[in-house]
Each structure stands twice: as C-alpha cells, then as structure tokens.
C-alpha cells in the first residue's frame, strides 16, 4: 500500500495543469488522414486500451495539460483509438500495435513517420512531437524551386509553412517576399502574414494586430487566436533565453490585443515562467496570485500553481503556505484520492504531518461508509505515519 501512494507522489511531482489540453479529432482514422493531408499536418495517434494503466495516466495527467494542448493542437490532427474497438482494430491491421500505449505520427498519405511505445511525461511527449515534425520536414521539396526563382504565392506560402512546421527560420523569406510587393489578393496576404508572424516581437506581428478583424473574417477567431498565442509564447521563450524582461512585457501587451479573453491567464503564466527561471520571488508571487484572481477557484489552475511552487520554491515558507491553502481548496472541491494525496504531500512539506494524518483518516472514514475501495487511503496513511518525526 505504501508503494501505491508513491504513485500519487510521482503524479504530484511531474503533473501540472489539466485544462485546455489536446483536442482529439472526432472521426475515423482514415478521416483524420484526409484532414491531415488537406492541412499539411501529421496525424498524432494515441493507440490505447481501456484496461491499460499507463494509458489512463497519460489521458488524465499529460494529454490534459495546457502546454501539451498548445503544441499538439497547433501542429497535428490528434486522434485517440481504442485498439479493441472497430476503428482501432481496422487501424491495427495496417499499423500493428503490441503494447500500450503506443503513440504514432503519420503523414497525410499514411506513411509512418515516428512510433513511440510506452507512457510519456509532458516534456518527453512534446520532444517526440518536435522530432516527428523535423522528420517530416517538407521544406526541402519547396526549397529547390524557391532557389531556382519561383516566387508564386502557393510555393512561397507552402515553403514558409513547411519551415515553420519543422521549426526552421522563415522570417527572412517572409519579409523578402512581402517587400517584393507580390501580385496577390488581400486575403492571400492576410493568410501569409498570419503564417509568417511566428514571434510576437516582430513587425509582421504588428500587421497581424492591425489587420485583426480582416484576418478573423478569413480564418475564424479560433485560428487567429491560436496562432497569436503561439507567437506570444515564442516571444516569452525568447525573453527567458535572453533574460529580457522588456520582451516579456511586449509579449503580454500583444496578448491583450490579440486574444483579450485569455490574456490575463496568459500574462500570469508567462510571468510565472519568466520569474521562476531567475528566482525573482516577489514578481513570481504576484504572477500566481494574479492567476488565482483571473481563474477564481478553478481546481486545475490551483493544482498548476501548487505543483509549480512545490517544484521551484519549496523552501519559501510563504509560497508553500499559499500552496497548502490552494491544495486544500482543490481537495474540498474534488474530494478524490489524488487531490487528497496532493494536499497531504504539501502539509508534510511544511511540517504539518499530524494535520495531514488527521485529514487522511477523516477521508478514509467517509470512504468506508460510502463503500469505496480503501487500499489507496490506507497506503496514504501508512506513508504519512512514516513521515512523523
């Protein structure tokens, strides 16, 4: 039972937020391939089975995280396939799967680009996705024609899009093309600048802002905002890499202009990301408190904050006290074993083990009256007793 609770500790340490994760395609795998071909993307397939424990962990703690969702929704057509159901069985005849979970990346023609066996955590999953896109680099097939002098809209647009998908520089090609004053329609230009503006700290992104209503009329609000979020996130990453707070400020300012409904949460999270990197405790605290204010008592947001504090500022008593308060709110809202484990873990970290034991025992009593399986609660209590001074 003690080993069972170790699972909760592992999930607590590595997990983050569980909101705005991967949006999975609702359709057959052949439909997903057709959509990927039309959009020039790869298909990401989560091949799973209902009884698979690691599959359940990924579904709950990895696919649901915002960082994962931001990357996979922008880059892939995402598909979940139960390999024991009809569509999954058909898929398995073409792409045999012998262990779960198995993660596959396919191009629109059905060619297998990358295959990964076994459960993944956030960074590992994103790394596999980045690698799949690099392996599917289609920019070379456009590069030869571009270097030969082809400046047709379709060629240059496809070239820039392929470079972006492969995480290759495209800004010079985009600027050179626009400065050539090409003979294209207004809608073509709008689509081009949206694709080309991969970072918020660029003049191209200023055009994305000034043409906001026109671009939305062509692409739709969601596509526009998703691209703008990606560009702002890229600039936040640059701010961290170059330790330039002014760049962080610019990204936040442009977030307000391009996706105002989600800007407050974005700004708070970007602040947490930047300030924790440079151990700036006061602005980091202000950032997570701003996130609490904008999200209210949303349990998933609070868990994101709790885990971030515990990972980066475990020795800061004031922050850990906040983490304890937020973890308790989550426990009171969800009343599940995972949130109980998280709350008790924080209490142990701030030397309130006796309180943790009391909370866990009270939760066990309620679970016993409800006829719930008690092994998890017993494992937790045994673990907490082992932590007593």
201-210: average pLDDT: 97
Q: What is the pLDDT of residue 265?
A: 94
In 3D, which of 313, 271, 277 has the Cα closest to residue 291? 271
Q: What is the pLDDT of residue 388?
A: 86
| Residue range 84-137, pLDDT digits in tens | 999 999 999 999 999 999 999 999 999 999 999 999 999 999 999 999 999 999
Does residue 269 have a pLDDT over 70?
yes
In 3D, which of 166, 241, 253, 239 has the Cα closest to residue 206? 253
Evaluate the omega torsion of the peptide bond into residue 247 and state whether it is cis, within 30 degrees of 0.
no
| Residue range 59-95, pLDDT digits in tens | 988 999 888 998 999 899 999 999 999 999 999 999 9
Predicted confidence band of residue 2 (pLDDT cuts 50, 70, 90): very low
Predicted confidence band of residue 166 (pLDDT cuts 50, 70, 90): confident
Q: What secondary structure, in 3-state letters, does 238-289 show? A: HHHHHCCHHHHHHHHHHHHHHCHHHHHHHHHHHHHHHHHHCCCHHHHHHHHH
Does residue 25 have a pLDDT over 50?
yes
Does residue 343 have a pLDDT over 90?
yes
Residue ranges and CATH numbers for the domains of the chain are: 1-14+302-389 (no CATH), 20-136 (3.40.30.10)
Q: What is the pLDDT of residue 296?
A: 85
Q: What is the mean pLDDT of the chain?
A: 93
pTM here is: 0.80
């Amino acid at each position: 039972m003690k080993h069972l609770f170790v699972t909760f500790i592992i999930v607590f340490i590595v997990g983050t937020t569980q909101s705005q994760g991967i949006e999975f395609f609702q359709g057959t795998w052949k439909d997903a391939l057709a959509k990927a071909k039309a959009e020039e993307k790869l298909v990401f397939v989560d091949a799973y089975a209902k009884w698979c424990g690691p599959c359940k962990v990924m579904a709950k703690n990895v696919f649901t995280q915002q960082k994962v969702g931001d990357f996979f929704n922008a880059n892939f057509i995402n598909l979940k396939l139960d390999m024991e159901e009809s569509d999954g069985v058909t898929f398995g005849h073409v792409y045999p799967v012998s262990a779960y979970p198995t993660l596959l990346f396919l191009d629109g023609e059905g060619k297998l680009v990358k295959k990964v066996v076994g459960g993944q955590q956030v960074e590992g999953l994103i790394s596999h996705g980045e690698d799949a896109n690099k392996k599917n680099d289609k920019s070379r097939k456009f590069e030869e024609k571009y270097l030969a002098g082809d400046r047709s809209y379709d060629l240059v647009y496809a070239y820039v899009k392929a470079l972006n998908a492969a995480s290759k520089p495209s800004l010079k090609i985009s600027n050179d093309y626009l400065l050539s004053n090409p003979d294209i329609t207004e809608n073509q230009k709008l689509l081009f600048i949206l694709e080309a503006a991969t970072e918020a700290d660029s003049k191209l992104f200023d055009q994305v802002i000034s043409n906001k209503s026109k671009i939305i009329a062509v692409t739709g609000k969601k596509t526009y905002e998703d691209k703008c979020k990606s560009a702002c996130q890229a600039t936040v990453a640059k701010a961290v890499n170059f330790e330039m707070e002014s760049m962080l400020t610019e990204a936040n300012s442009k977030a307000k202009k391009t996706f105002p409904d989600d800007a407050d949460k974005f700004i708070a999270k970007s602040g947490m990301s930047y300030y924790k990197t440079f151990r700036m405790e006061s602005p980091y605290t202000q950032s997570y408190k701003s996130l609490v204010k904008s999200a209210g008592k949303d349990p998933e947001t609070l868990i994101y904050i709790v885990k971030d504090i515990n990972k980066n500022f475990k020795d800061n008593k004031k922050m850990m006290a906040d983490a304890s308060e937020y973890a308790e709110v989550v426990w009171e809202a969800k009343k599940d074993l995972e949130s109980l484990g998280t709350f008790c873990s924080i209490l142990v970290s701030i030397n309130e083990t006796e309180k943790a034991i009391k909370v866990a025992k009270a939760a066990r009593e309620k679970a016993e009256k409800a006829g719930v399986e008690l092994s998890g609660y017993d494992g937790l209590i045994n673990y907490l007793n082992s932590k007593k001074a």
